[in-house]
Amino acid sequence: MSGQKRILLIISGGIAAYKCLELIRRLREKDFLVRAILTKAGSEFVTPLSVSSLTEDKVYGELFSLTDEAEMGHIQLSRDADLLVVAPASADILAKMANGLCNDLASTTLLATDKPVMVVPAMNVRMWEHPATKANMETLNQRGVVQVGPDEGVMACGEYGFGRMSEPADILQAIETHFSQESKPKQSSNTALRALVTSGPTHEAIDPVRYIANRSSGRQGHAIAAALAASGIETILVSGLTDLTPPKGVKLIPIESAREMLAACNDLLPVDITICAAAVADWRVKDAGSQKMKKEKGGLPTLELVENPDILHAISNAGKTRPSLVVGFAAETENVVNHAQAKRKRKGCDWILANDVSEGTGTFGGTENTIHYITNDGVTDWPKMTKQAVAERLVEEILAHFADLGKTTDQAAAD
Ligand code: C5P
């Protein structure tokens, strides 16, 4: 990322405002400059002092403050940033933005800006699902406002559903993705390529209410899909359930089980590139009950497991429809490189990205990854980096690979 990027963070009212402090901390760690506007409602949840200690700047709040206007008018405030992030974005501020209302510093700045805007909605599930909020969000999306979340879960009010503000790590990732996409002009030569990415966990039913799953966050697969799309490659993401917002410009096909994932992938072949980053469950329950299993029946149930299809193996051995480049992951806890090399052969894929997921590495579900990049030519150790940086590096390798193929074809034609 070139130069220090400036974020204008607009904190509106909502219990989730406390997460902004962590967001500011993480942004500062990544060398972003953060300036904050705290709405009146926002200041009921976090204090200007805590915000300004973390941003190391004053906090703006009043529209009609003569001192503020003299030092930094609201127009300049809006222009002096590379990105405006509204987090939490309450139903109220979304409504104001959609309708062009401006009666405080936050809404006035948002109306006056000519810079990209990202919103991170946070509200009660009923408010989020209200047709008015939906229409407002749709209007903002159509105007190019980037949306992050909301996530699903239990809310402060005790209700369950979509409305929780995304976690600071996910907001940071969305901000970094925004800037990396912005800095990379779309390469028209890549638009001929089509990629399929698998991501997230699979859920294998035990009965209609219970399932077997794993802790995959989907962060790595989603970041790869985002990076591919940002480079101009048509990208389809087949993903199990995650809390993540589908990346911009990527077609998402949601699935639950391994068998659904395989069927979705088979339907999409042929493609040029496939990257299997999903954490597919190795086994499923042989006879998943069609009714909820009852504990009153007495005794403990016995679950007979059967093997799930191996999607990476199936795609690598798909004969005529095999993609020209198939990439898999190998999450290992010991002898990482040796096991991954054997896996590359066994599965029949071209490249393997091996990572150490042993306890203490924090890879699984975390935001960073340490990769050994394994191809036919050998092993390259990449330094520890964010999952987004891994995605970008992988896409660079992919583009170089296809550029080489292009050269080879040209040279073959010339011979
Ligand atoms: O065999 P293992 O699970 O270690 O292999 C990991 C790689 O294989 C990952 O790329 C994963 O996405 C893929 N995989 C798959 N289908 C399975 C199991 C793993 O696509 N059933």
One pLDDT digit (tens) per residue for the chain, 415 residues: 557 999 999 999 999 999 999 999 999 999 999 999 999 999 999 999 999 999 999 999 876 665 666 566 778 888 899 999 999 999 999 999 999 999 999 999 999 999 999 999 999 999 999 999 999 998 998 888 998 989 888 877 778 888 999 999 999 988 998 888 776 655 555 668 999 999 999 999 999 999 999 988 899 999 999 999 999 999 999 999 998 888 889 999 999 999 999 999 999 999 999 999 999 999 999 999 889 998 877 788 899 999 999 999 999 999 989 999 999 999 998 999 999 999 999 999 999 999 988 776 666 666 778 899 999 999 999 998 888 889 999 999 999 999 888 744 334 344 4
276 lines ligand 1 (CB under 6 A): yes
CA distance to 246, 272, 302, 305, per residue, from 204 (Å)? 22, 29, 16, 10
Question: Which atom of ligand 1 is nearest to 352's Cα?
Answer: 10
CA distance 92 to 84: 17
Pocket test for ligand 1, best of 310, 327, 337, 343 (most atoms within 8 A of CB): 310
Tokens of 37: 């506007």
Cβ(154)–Cβ(160) under 8 Å?
Answer: yes
Residues 344-362, buried b or exposed e (16+ Cβ, 10 A)?
Answer: beebbbbbbbbbbbeeeee
Instruction: Output the pLDDT for position 152.
Output: 82
Tokens of 310: 């191996």
- For the chain, helix (H) and strand (E) counts, in that order, are 14, 22
Instruction: Output the pLDDT for position 184.
Output: 61
Question: Which atom of ligand 1 is nearest to 332's Cα?
Answer: 4
DSSP β-bridge partners for residue 275 = 197, 327
CA distance 200 to 241: 6
Question: Which atom of ligand 1 is nearest to 278's Cα?
Answer: 12
CA distance 130 to 14: 17
Tokens of 402: 């296809």
Maximum CA extent, the chain: 77
Instruction: Output the pLDDT for position 69.
Output: 63
330 lines ligand 1 (CB under 6 A): yes
Instruction: Output the pLDDT for position 21.
Output: 97
Secondary structure letter of residue 8 according to DSSP: E
Instruction: Output the pLDDT for position 71.
Output: 62
Q: What angle do CA 128, 205, 264 make, to 5 degrees?
A: 75
Q: The tokens 């300049």 sit on which residue?
A: 76
Instruction: Output the pLDDT for position 410.
Output: 37
Going by CA atoms, what residue is nearest to atom 13 of ligand 1?
Answer: 312
Distance 353 CA to ligand 1 centre (A): 12
Distance 383 CA to ligand 1 centre (A): 23
Question: Which atom of ligand 1 is nearest to 329's Cα?
Answer: 10
308 lines ligand 1 (CB under 6 A): yes
Assign 231 to helix, strand or coil.
coil
CA distance 227 to 206: 35
Cβ(176)–Cβ(30) under 8 Å?
Answer: yes
311 lines ligand 1 (CB under 6 A): yes
Residue 415: CA count within 13 A, CB half-sphere: 6
